[in-house]
Structure 1
Amino acid sequence: MNTVKRTLRAAAVGMILMAGSGAAWAAEFSLSVNTALQPQDPLFKGLNAFKENVEKRSEGKISVRLFPGSQLGKDEDVLEQARAGAGVAVVVDGGRLAVYTKEFGVLGAPYLASGYDGVRKVVTSPMFETWVGNLRKAAGLQVLSFNWWQGERHLVTNVPVKVPADLAGIRMRTPGAPVWMETIRAMGATPTPMGWAEVYTAMQQKVIDALEAQSPAVYNSKLFEVAKYLTKSGHINLITGVVTSAAWFDGLPADLQKIVREEALKAGDIASRGTEASLADYEKQMAEKGMVVTEIDVTPFREATKSVYEKLGYGELHAELDKFLTN
């Protein structure tokens, strides 16, 4: 299986190199977009819209190719390709960008904002644009837009969970970014970083006991087959962005730069509203397949995770964002 994955990845990277040399497409510029999500995920509709509208508005000068299922590699690997100047982009959370620009990490902090409208206000603000500029300087990465909402993340377990104490001794998969790890630790579980593609097998083989994820991802990866309970903790409001190479972006004429960023923002709204509309249906389908979907009082989890902001040095920024979000 690993050999097959490496072969597919090598082929995908080869196509990027061909694109960069002009051999694969007649377009002047090409962009390959990588995502861990599958084509049936509502967010993928936004990526299709981005592809179609960029190619149309640029009159074919920009070609966009989409690679679901992390075909180009892990998010961190694709970010490194982008930093090296390749014409690649990745749908990525703020936690993975925090290693370059710390402020991005707060986007994955617990109970930051309510729903898509709340977090969208943050990622379309002048404050956020200063983070975008800092990321360019620090890492050579360009944010196209960061309004790709994948839903609130919930607990997926094989034991019922009502309060943080129920997670004691539970090995829970989470992305490896510090803010995610610390959030899971504060909730009472033992954070276990792991690539998303490995989660199903890890649950099946009991390498991990639980995970946390948004409902569309849980359903589309068929995790209801290996986990009994989905507990709606909503501890992280998962907002992601399309991030590419600053060098590739700077190589575009100004009019094409404008098109790419405008269409990324529009497509992010399409993806996010589609996600909003799909959540209840996903939960209904999982319940029909035997999963127990439970609403809980999240107050104990909210209280347990308050310390995450101070522990990771986001106390002042959290206060600033709280003030911004309530105005």
Structure 2
Amino acid sequence: MALNRRQFGATAIGSMAAMWAAPSIAEGKKVSLKVGGQFADSHPSSKAMDTACAEIRQQSSGRIDIQFFPNAQLGSDAAMLTQVRSGALDMMTASGISMQVVSPIAGISGMAFAFSDYAHVWQAMDGDLGASIRTGLDKVGIFAFPKILDSGYRNITTSNHPIDSVEDLKGMKMRVPPSPVWVSLFTALGSSPTSITINELYSALQTKIVDGQENPLTIIESGKYFEVQKYCSITEHMWDGLWIIANGKRIKSLSSDDLALITKSFEAATDKQRTETERLNTDLEGSLKSKGLVFNRPEKSQFRKALTKAGFYADWKQKYGPEAWAVLERYSGSLA
């Protein structure tokens, strides 16, 4: 039924009043944010962050000027984490295991052989385990967005021989990220772990400072480690992800509308990135084989038995505490 003029006028005035009462996101205060990333711009996490930042700029008509800097342009993981905590850097992508130096519980999701498949990973990280990690980070001034990016299951590459058994790791010079979990894991397996940052890893492999390293296939491919490594052993010894984190005070100073827009864009990009990373970590094997990398699949149970015998799980259960460990085992099953 057609509106008469009086009805139309009242409707139009009401609509305009509603618009004036709730200004659009594009009309708010100018916001500038820098986000640091550690991996090459070709890595799925870097692509996801670049896409999300572009979406935020577009949705805010450029008012939220958020820029992503991949490939450790703003510093190593440790350097960027220090900057985020001090407020010198607004945001970054960060592995939970790398952040355990400032919040011990952050590394619990990287426990060796904890998650048998992706279904268990996402149940844990989108559930109580992820919530516990975010709460721990918040206590040290770090805000973590609700959904974690997928880095993938980690595998071992070597230059001298494949890893078919625990014995093959004895005395091997293994590069590991600067984190207590990684160091203790490979020490328990008998190798000689050396902490080297991701931006120095290629040269360390090229100059034989270390014999091998461990990473998901996406990082092995994007970092071009196949050029300086011969073997890839599919151990899937650890799952790892990247939290999108921010300086707590900085993020909480944003308006609720701005934070909602940023969160929504990050979550949409994360969902797509998870699907793409899972696919790539399967499909890349064929591509890497064509580039000369030789693959093998050792029996995983032998590594877990060796870790149990060495007291690895018992030690970390004590460090994390029974409450946090119980949350982990709700998704992983009994580990110790």
TM-score range, shorter chain: 0.7 to 0.9
Pick closer, same or farther for the CA change 1:117–1:186 going to 2, 3 Å.
Answer: same
Rounded Cα–Cα distance in structure 2 between residues aligned with 1:148 and 1:320: 21
Please tell me whether the aligned partners of residues 47 and 271 of structure 1 are also in contact (alpha carbons under 8 angstroms).
Answer: no
Report the Cα distance in structure 1 between the residues aligned to 2:296 and 2:196, rounded to whole angstroms. Answer: 25
| Equivalence for 1:321 | 328
CA change 1:324–1:275 in 2 (3 A) is closer
Asked if 1:113 corresponds to 2:120, the answer is: no
Alignment of 1:146-185 (within 5 A): 146-158=147-159, 159-185=161-187
Q: Secondary structure at the match of 2:105?
A: helix
- Cα deviation, 1:262-300, whole Å, max 9, x if unaligned, reads 322222221111111112332111111111011221111
State how far apart, in whole Å, the 2-side matches of 1:212 and 1:182 are: 14
| Shift in Å, 1:127 | 4.7
Alpha-carbon distance, 1:57 to partner: 3.5
Match of 2:22 in 1: none
Q: Which amino acid aligns with 1:35?
A: G
1:1-327 aligned at under 5 Å gives the runs 28-138=30-140, 140-158=141-159, 159-306=161-308, 307-312=311-316, 313-314=319-320, 316=322, 317-324=324-331
Shift of 1:126: 4.0
Task: Name the SS of the counterpart of 1:244 in structure 2.
Answer: strand
Partner of residue 12, structure 2: none
Conserved 8 A contact 2:114-2:332: no
CA-based RMSD: 2.0
Structure 2 CA distance for aligned equivalents of residues 223 and 105 of structure 1 = 25
| Letter matched to residue 210 of structure 2 | I
- 1:251: how far off? 1.1
Which letter maps to 2:313? Y
Q: Is the 8 A contact 2:52 2:269 kept in 1?
A: yes
CA 1:146–1:304 in 2, change beyond 3 Å: closer, same or farther? farther
Preserved CA contact (<8 Å) 2:169 2:189: yes
1:146, distance to aligned residue in structure 2 (A): 4.3
Residue 116 of structure 1: CA displacement? 3.3
Secondary structure at the aligned position of 1:296 is classed as coil
Amino acid at match of 2:306: A
Q: Give the CA deviation at 1:173.
A: 0.4
Equivalent pair of 1:116/1:149 in contact (CA under 8 Å):
no
| CA distance in 2 between partners of 1:133 and 1:99 (Å) | 15
Q: Secondary structure at the match of 2:210?
A: coil
1:99 Cα offset (Å): 2.1
The count of residues paired between Structure 1 and Structure 2 equals: 300
Q: Secondary structure at the match of 1:305?
A: helix
SS of 2:145 mapped into structure 1: strand
The offset of 1:74, in angstroms, is: 0.8
Change over 3 Å in CA distance of 1:27–1:234 after alignment to 2: farther
Task: Give the residue type in structure 2 aligned to 1:321.
Answer: L
Contact 1:174 1:191 in 2 (8 A): yes
Identity of aligned residues (%): 26
SS for the counterpart of 1:76 is helix
**Aligned equivalents of 1:130, 1:235: Cα separation in 2:** 23
Task: State the distance in 2 between where 1:274 and 1:135 align.
Answer: 27
1:14 is aligned to: none
- CA, structure 1 residues 27+215, in 2 after alignment: closer, same or farther (shift >3 Å)? farther
Superimposed CA distance per residue, residues 110-165 of structure 1 (whole angstroms, 9 cap, x where no aligned partner): 01213433222222224532432332222x11112442111110011121211111
Runs of 5+ consecutive residues of structure 2 not aligned to the other structure: 1-27
CA distance in 2, matches of 1:64, 1:284: 36
- Going from structure 1 to structure 2, the CA distance change for 1:45 and 1:113 (only over 3 Å counts) comes to same
Q: Output the CA distance in 2 between the equivalents of 1:128 and 1:42.
A: 21
- Of 209-218 and 99-108, deviating more is 99-108
Q: Which moved more, 1:62-71 or 1:117-126?
A: 117-126
**Separation in structure 2 between the aligned mates of residue 233 and residue 75 of structure 1, nearest angstrom:** 25
Cα distance in 1 between the residues matched to 2:233 and 2:88: 40
Deviation at 1:68, TM superposition (A): 1.2
Tell me the TM-score normalized by structure 1.
Answer: 0.85
